[in-house]
Structure 1
Amino acid sequence: MTKVNFKLSPVALGERLKVVRETANITQDAAAKAAGIARTTLVSIEKGQRAARLEEIQTLSRFYGVSANSLLRRDAVHVDLVPRFRSLPETSDSGVEQAARMLNDLVKAEVELENILGVQRLNNYPAEKTILPGDVRKQAEHDAQSLRNWMGLGEGPVQNLIALLELQLGIRVYARKLDAKVSGLFAFDDAVGACVLINASHRTDRRAQTGAHELGHFMATRRRPEIYQDEKYENSREERYANAFASAFLAPARAVMEKFKELTIGSTHLTRRHIILLANYFGVSRQAMVLRLEELGLTKKGTWDWFVDNGGITDEQARQVLGSAADDPAVTDGTQSSRLFLLAIEAWKKDLISEGQMSEMLKLDRENVRELLDEAEEDEIDDLFKLPH
């Protein structure tokens, strides 16, 4: 057998082979058997101690489900988020494993589209904070307000948090239908930046809460992957910080106090109507709104528990107060992944990818992809709207 002259060093190639093997969840024993080599030989290849032969690379790439060319290209960016999530205790759940792979594949697709289109992802990341000794909730409150000021948001409600993350900060954000218990995932990689996946099956207010929670991790624990599950106990300072950050970012203290005073003036008791109007104004769930009021001392501790014990605050009650504004818009796969969609559509128009490849990249069925392409074709009806290059 002959060796091939790689543009990459054996060490760099070995690291890539290790990354794609771990991402594919394949053991060294299985990979070595597929390539017809000893496990010790594969270990040496992955460590860069022994140069891989072309035949071995081709066999391993097919077994791992990647192209040999992508492994050998010097400028290829290899996304390796899945192994990081697997290091967390939560990944024993199959739904979490699937979500981690989904995030990895979507980031990989976006990076590949950037490469073939020759575009670069720009970000506008604020400085990372450090969680200090002391009250993490006070730190989170301060950091959330500081970020709002840095972004020029003032005290008003955030109209579209996902667009804010994607377009103003440059975070890679995706929304896809996930296992119900998984709200979202966050990961950071030096090569591709910050990445967030949100469960598109959840209500709008819950998706906003998830996005703000992951923003808290981005601010203070940027280099630690994170899986957000609502039922998970706040068993760490990092989780308490992220939850407090989300609450403070979506519902700033002063704005909540002012709106609360405005809505309750002349009232002798806090009512469901007050909660519904406040939650709708700040774009958070009714539960999150009541807990925020408790936290700020605007209502007694245990108020939410009282509502739960007395029938809760129902969607029907919200419709009676808000009318059609209470109806949550239908959620479809792919919502809030605008940049990835735009890149895929542009690549398709230039015949750089097929419709089938686009479906695989976006993790959408062919029907949804066809709808996207039809909408894109309808937008190009007049030369007046052509952009200068």
Structure 2
Amino acid sequence: MADLNELSAQEIGRRLRLARENAGIRQDDAAQVIGMSRPTLVSIEKGARRVRIQELQTLARHYGISVNALLRREAVHTDLVPRFRKLRETEDKDTAEAVQLFNNLIKADVELENVLGIERRRNYPPEHGVNEGDVIALAEQHAQDLRDWLGLGPGPIADIFSVIELGLGIRLYQRRLSSKSKVAGLFTYEEAVGACIFLNANHPLPRRIQSAAHEIGHFYGTRQSPEVLEEDEKFLSREERYANAFGRAFLTPAASFSESFRQLKEITGKTTRRLIILLAHQYNISRQACGLRLEELGLAKKGTWAWFEKNGGITDKDVREVLGEMTDRRDPAKGDADRLLSHRMSLMAHAAWKRELMSEGQLAELLNVGRVELRDIIDQIELEESETDDLLKLPD
């Protein structure tokens, strides 16, 4: 932990302001807790007046954070929660839950990387504006430009999550939210931590793939603005219509998607349930997204998907009858989301503990887990490593 005098008054003030904002506490209330006026607290947060240790301890308790976490050199202090609050006139509990979890994941991820000396590679294309021209045509062109820039080729994307994390170097978190949450995805960008995407792991794989492509659209076209994607999003703003169109075009490029459709329709003679099932499976998208994309590209009549819905839909049973064993796709991110900590976060926590860079207490606070649960994770990895060590002792 850094000594109080090792950090500038401005840096301590900034960290205190962010901790207060993240806790949702007003300046008047915080000032009252330490028995001072609001202008004095403002002076502390601006760095004009250095905070005293007793004041720091009292404020930290009130904000629900330890003094250690406030002063630790590698600690990450972001303003993610307040940025999302400014995004909406009213903050619903679903958004608040998702943003707080997102914020906690980013802070823990970045701080552990800093502690361990891990450098995350960024491969960001320049941000492209969306203020001029036909927004749908612009999104189609930008999606194709990014595919070309990444060298993805014309066909379906096999693993969009790897494209996000490895191809672009964006931080990606897939974790479960409360069962009734309407949040599908989040996006934010801050220079200190980079671009970050959150996906609701409760959603089925095709839905998360679509949400991921949508958030890539925000990364490419409106990077400086945080974004919340909901299940029933209306896509009213220009930025949302752009991201929605970008996502469709990124996953189903007009030329290759049209050719795949043509090859199937030459056999079926018309747009059938089986055709949509096969095409959706090929491009890793939902049946609904497939049907609507066909309409958008003029490959199927307007109202085709609505007709299917009115006439029994295209059910999971239909899919299983067509695809058989191929119906169940591997979804390792879903399993990882069921863990208390992701595999990567668990490994970093263990490494920080083993190298004596952070204590169990510091790690438990950073990761928002109990010390008993953290100890179980560390012990499990320790056991696995000891077994590996024994294996390495075997003769060649």
TM normalised by structure 1 equals 0.89
Over residues 247-271 of structure 1, what are the superposed CA-to-partner deviations in whole Å (9 max), with x where a residue is unaligned?
1111111111121122121322210
Structure 2 counterpart of 1:45, one-letter code = I
Match of 2:52 in 1: 53
Match of 1:267 in 2: 268
Match of 1:381 in 2: 388
Indicate if the aligned counterparts of 2:80 and 2:103 stay in contact, CA closer than 8 A: yes
**Displacement of 1:383 after TM fit?**
8.2
Residue 347 (1) aligns with residue 346 (2) = no
**Displacement of 1:340 after TM fit?**
3.5
**Displacement of 1:9 after TM fit?**
2.9
**Displacement of 1:370 after TM fit?**
4.7
Relative distance call for 1:32 and 1:339 in structure 2 (3 A) is same
Structure 1 counterpart of 2:100, one-letter code = R
**Displacement of 1:335 after TM fit?**
7.0
Over residues 129-165 of structure 1, what are the superposed CA-to-partner deviations in whole Å (9 max), with x where a residue is unaligned?
1114221111111111111111111012112211221
Once the two structures are superposed, the pairs formed by residues 212-291 of structure 1 within 5 Å of their partners are 212-291=213-292
**Displacement of 1:48 after TM fit?**
2.3
Q: Distance in 1 between matches of 2:279 and 2:78?
A: 41
Relative distance call for 1:215 and 1:346 in structure 2 (3 A) is same
Indicate if the aligned counterparts of 1:359 and 1:369 stay in contact, CA closer than 8 A: no
For residue 388 of structure 2, give the secondary structure of its aligned residue in structure 1: coil
Once the two structures are superposed, the pairs formed by residues 78-157 of structure 1 within 5 Å of their partners are 78-89=77-88, 92-157=91-156
Q: Give the share of equivalent positions with the same residue, in percent.
A: 51
For residue 218 of structure 2, give the secondary structure of its aligned residue in structure 1: helix
Structure 2 counterpart of 1:197, one-letter code = F
Indicate if the aligned counterparts of 1:341 and 1:362 stay in contact, CA closer than 8 A: no
Match of 2:17 in 1: 18
Q: Distance in 2 between matches of 1:271 and 1:373?
A: 54
Structure 1 counterpart of 2:220, one-letter code = M
Computed over aligned residues only, the root mean square deviation of the Cα atoms, in angstroms, reads 2.8
Q: Distance in 2 between matches of 1:279 and 1:259?
A: 11
Q: Which runs of 5+ in 2 are unaligned?
A: none
Indicate if the aligned counterparts of 1:200 and 1:333 stay in contact, CA closer than 8 A: no
Q: Distance in 2 between matches of 1:16 and 1:215?
A: 30
Q: Which moved more, 1:111-120 or 1:226-235?
A: 111-120
Over residues 42-62 of structure 1, what are the superposed CA-to-partner deviations in whole Å (9 max), with x where a residue is unaligned?
122112222211111122122
Structure 2 counterpart of 1:238, one-letter code = E
Q: Distance in 1 between matches of 2:33 and 2:362?
A: 27
Indicate if the aligned counterparts of 2:336 and 2:343 stay in contact, CA closer than 8 A: no
Over residues 178-201 of structure 1, what are the superposed CA-to-partner deviations in whole Å (9 max), with x where a residue is unaligned?
243110111111111111111000
Q: Distance in 2 between matches of 1:23 and 1:328?
A: 38
Once the two structures are superposed, the pairs formed by residues 278-317 of structure 1 within 5 Å of their partners are 278-317=279-318
**Displacement of 1:382 after TM fit?**
5.6
Structure 2 counterpart of 1:211, one-letter code = A
For residue 130 of structure 2, give the secondary structure of its aligned residue in structure 1: coil
For residue 174 of structure 2, give the secondary structure of its aligned residue in structure 1: strand
Over residues 220-248 of structure 1, what are the superposed CA-to-partner deviations in whole Å (9 max), with x where a residue is unaligned?
11010100012121111100110111111
Over residues 268-316 of structure 1, what are the superposed CA-to-partner deviations in whole Å (9 max), with x where a residue is unaligned?
2210000000101100000111111111111111111111111111111
Relative distance call for 1:74 and 1:368 in structure 2 (3 A) is closer
Q: Distance in 2 between matches of 1:259 and 1:375?
A: 46
Q: Which moved more, 1:110-119 or 1:279-288?
A: 110-119
The count of aligned residue pairs is 383
Indicate if the aligned counterparts of 2:135 and 2:238 stay in contact, CA closer than 8 A: yes
Q: Which runs of 5+ in 1 are unaligned?
A: none
Residue 65 (1) aligns with residue 64 (2) = yes
For residue 195 of structure 2, give the secondary structure of its aligned residue in structure 1: strand
Indicate if the aligned counterparts of 1:172 and 1:196 stay in contact, CA closer than 8 A: yes
